[in-house]
């Protein structure tokens, strides 16, 4: 059974806070099953977005998994904004969580797949 989106987001924000990393809900989606996108803002004009892993790449326990959906080296913020806008048009129930860190830390390591 998958944890509800809202609960996962709040838990993730607590993990970030415990590591001293600022994280913000930029867009609140469907509380039960909204897809979650994580934007890592490197505060240098570039960001990376992690999106839900395709069904075949999720963790064996059925939990959530993430993959980079933009260039993992970072893309300019204007391109990131355009990408996220397209995702919102496709699915208005998505969540967007933004993490700000110049060093590129995001605390997703145990959730990255692929």
Per-residue pLDDT tens digits for 12-44: 999 999 999 999 999 999 999 999 999 999 999
Task: Please tell me the distance from the alpha carbon of residue 25 to that of residue 108, in angstroms, as a whole number.
Answer: 16
Q: 21, 100 in Cβ contact below 8 A? A: yes
Q: How confident is the model at residue 64 (pLDDT cuts 50, 70, 90)?
A: confident
**pLDDT per position as a tens digit, 70-98:** 998 899 999 999 999 999 999 999 999 99
Domains of the chain: 5-111 (3.40.1530.20)
Question: Can you give the pLDDT at residue 1?
Answer: 61
Predicted pLDDT of residue 45: 97
102-to-16, 48, 57, 110, 113 alpha-carbon distances in Å? 14, 12, 29, 20, 23
Please report the pLDDT score of residue 62 as a whole number: 58
For the cut 70, the answer to whether the pLDDT of residue 57 exceeds it is no
């Amino acid at each position: 059974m998958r944890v509800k989106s809202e609960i996962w987001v709040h838990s993730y924000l607590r993990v970030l806070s415990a590591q001293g990393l600022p994280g913000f809900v930029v867009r609140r989606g469907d509380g039960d099953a909204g897809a979650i996108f994580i934007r890592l803002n490197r505060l240098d004009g570039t960001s990376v977005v992690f999106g839900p892993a395709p069904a075949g790449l999720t963790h064996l326990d059925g939990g959530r998994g993430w993959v980079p959906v933009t260039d993992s080296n970072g893309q300019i913020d204007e391109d990131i904004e355009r990408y996220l806008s397209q995702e919102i048009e496709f699915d208005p129930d998505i969540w967007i969580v933004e993490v700000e860190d110049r060093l590129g830390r995001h605390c997703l390591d145990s959730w990255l797949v692929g």
